[in-house]
Amino acid sequence: MDPRFTPAQDEWRAEVRAFLDAELPARWERNSEFYEDEEFWKFAFAFTRKVSERGWVGLTWPTEYGGLARPVIDRLIMAEEFTYRDAPLVNSLGWGLAAGALLAGGTEEQKLRFLPPIARSEVFWAEGFTEPGAGSDLASLTTRAERHGDGWLVNGQKTFTTWGSHADVMFLAARTGPVGSRHRGISIFCLDLRAAGVTLTPLYNLGGGRQNHTFFDNVEVPGDALIGEVDQGWNLIMNAFYGGSAYAPYMEHQRMLDKLVAWCRTTIRHGRPLIDDPITRDRLAEMALIVEADRLLTYRSLGDMRAGRQQPYAGALGVVVQKEGMPRFAELTNLIVGPLGQLSEGAPFAPVDGGPEAWYRQAFRNHAGGTSQVKRMVLATRGLGLPR
């Protein structure tokens, strides 16, 4: 056990930083928000392609799939630096969700076909899991894919489709088994979002972004769009996001904390810098403890994976901590800045560039990928062995 990064890992971190210094405008970091303006997306796509040109999108994947076969810890270091600098590496549902699932359970032919275009950032993916009637209980999903010649015919509806209007294809979970077959009758498809019969209608979220309802009306899907095996999609869903990638969401909190500490040093309240106020100090300490908890959980989980050890509590504990930490962190930010914290970015006297206002709204995205309550149930049953 050695909590320090090696000199070689520090060198890699320096290389990543140099890349970000060269490619990102000065003071690029934004508040934690969805951004929908065209300029942002143009820049984000161009930036993402530059990351691809270096081979970093598939950093850890085998070379035959467009990767560089680097260790996952290098991907974590990259994620830490990218997240801290708010680098707009888009297509996380491609290189994270779809690629993770393909690496875990795709056939050799599917990996060779789907992964290289993701590594090159040529194909932008959306996610198609959640339905109006199937949220926490995802296994009850009803969108159907029925055999149709050599391919499939898809009917139904998905919702909350994040970045759907920017995406080319969807990682779709559809029912191929009989009604009531739950997790045993679900298959995964790569569905072309530009195919006839696909309609996206906007849903605007509290974080300033557009999500979507996605409707499927007799959408024809070719036979080779199936990912994995028929009726075996549940395992791919369970493995989504896990294969070959690494995430450092705590670095977004770290960035906010650093900005807030700097603001507290220069803000005078009751005749003294806010940084000297004991209540503020304790709140900053709690924020840093939230950052460190997520960091330690991530490092430990990575270590267990590398050592081939079983994760404590069936790997179900960290996600609860992370989800419950998000709104608390935003709440603490707002408790510190006080009455002006309700002002949005751009308003005169908005503290910390309006960050507290944006973060407070944005923190409620913590349900993505499953609510903390569902994750608590998983921790209790799978992690602790309590009865269902």
Partner 1 sequence: MDFTLDDDRLALRKVVADFFAEKSPLPVVRRLEDEGTGYDAATWRAMARLEWTRLGHAESIGGVGGGVLDLAMLYQEMGRSLYASPHLESVVVAGGVLVATGGHPALLAGILDGTSVVVPALMEPSGTYPPEGIELAWDGARLTGTKVLVPYVDNATRLLVASRGTEGVVLALVDPTASGLTVERSPNIAGAPLFTLRFDGVSADRVDGGWAVLAPVLDRATVLRSAQIVGAAERLLDLSVAYAQTRSQFGKAIGSYQAVQYLCTDIAIATHLASLATLRAAALLDLGEPAVQEVSEAKARASAAARVAAEKAHEVHAGFAFMMEADIQLFTRRLRHWELDLGDEDHHRARFAEALLAS
How would DSSP label each residue in 194-245? Answer: TSTTEEEEEEE-TTS-EEEEEEEEEEEE-GGGEESSTTBHHHHHHHTTTSS-
Query: Of the candidates 197, 312, 327, 370, which one interacts with partner 1 according to CB under 8 A?
Result: 312
Within 281-310, the residues that bind partner 1 by CB under 8 A are: 281-282, 284-286, 288-289, 292-293, 296-297, 299-300, 302-304, 306-307, 309
Query: For partner 1, how many residues bind (rule: CB under 8 A)?
Result: 47
Q: How many CB atoms lie within 10 A of CB 203?
A: 15
| Residue 368 contacts partner 1 per CB under 8 A | no
Q: Would you state the structure tokens that stand for residue 364, as one six-digit string?
A: 């409620």
| Residue 382 contacts partner 1 per CB under 8 A | no
Q: How far is the CB of 248 from partner 1 (least distance, A)?
A: 13
Q: How far is the CB of 261 from partner 1 (least distance, A)?
A: 7
Q: How far is the CB of 29 from partner 1 (least distance, A)?
A: 21
| 147: enclosing H helix or E strand | strand 144-148
Q: How far is the CB of 270 from partner 1 (least distance, A)?
A: 18
| Residue 337 contacts partner 1 per CB under 8 A | no
| Residue 384 contacts partner 1 per CB under 8 A | yes
Query: Of the candidates 317, 330, 337, 363, which one interacts with partner 1 according to CB under 8 A?
Result: 317
Nearer to partner 1, 203 or 305 (CB): 305
Contact present, 361 and 326 (Cβ < 8 Å): no
Instruction: Give me the residue label for tokens 């939230």.
Output: 290
| Residue 7 contacts partner 1 per CB under 8 A | no
Q: Alpha-carbon distance 22 to 16, whole Å? A: 10
Within 204-263, the residues that bind partner 1 by CB under 8 A are: 261
| Residue 195 contacts partner 1 per CB under 8 A | no
By CB atoms closer than 10 A (0-12, 13-18, 19+), residue 360 is: middle
Contact present, 52 and 120 (Cβ < 8 Å): yes
What are the Cα distances from residue 143, in Å, to 82, 102, 167? 36, 21, 20
Q: Alpha-carbon distance 325 to 289, whole Å? A: 10
| Residue 27 contacts partner 1 per CB under 8 A | no
Q: Which residues pair with 154 in a beta bridge?
A: 145, 219
| Residue 103 contacts partner 1 per CB under 8 A | no
Chain center to CA of 128: 14
| Residue 265 contacts partner 1 per CB under 8 A | yes
| Residue 278 contacts partner 1 per CB under 8 A | yes
| Residue 387 contacts partner 1 per CB under 8 A | yes
Who's near 203: CB < 8 A, 6+ residues apart?
159, 160, 210, 211, 212, 213
Within 59-98, the residues that bind partner 1 by CB under 8 A are: 73
| Residue 380 contacts partner 1 per CB under 8 A | yes
Nearest alpha carbon to residue 313 among 371, 370, 379, 374: 379
> 310-323 in b/e burial notation, b at 16+ Cβ within 10 A?
eeeeebbbbbbbbb
| Residue 17 contacts partner 1 per CB under 8 A | no
| Residue 5 contacts partner 1 per CB under 8 A | yes
Q: Alpha-carbon distance 344 to 340, whole Å? A: 9
Nearest alpha carbon to residue 143 among 132, 135, 152, 154: 154
Query: Of the candidates 139, 203, 230, 275, which one interacts with partner 1 according to CB under 8 A?
Result: 275
Within 169-188, the residues that bind partner 1 by CB under 8 A are: none
Nearer to partner 1, 211 or 280 (CB): 280
Residues that bind partner 1 (CB under 8 A): 1-6, 9, 73, 261, 265, 275, 278, 281-282, 284-286, 288-289, 292-293, 296-297, 299-300, 302-304, 306-307, 309, 312-313, 317, 320-321, 376-377, 379-381, 383-388
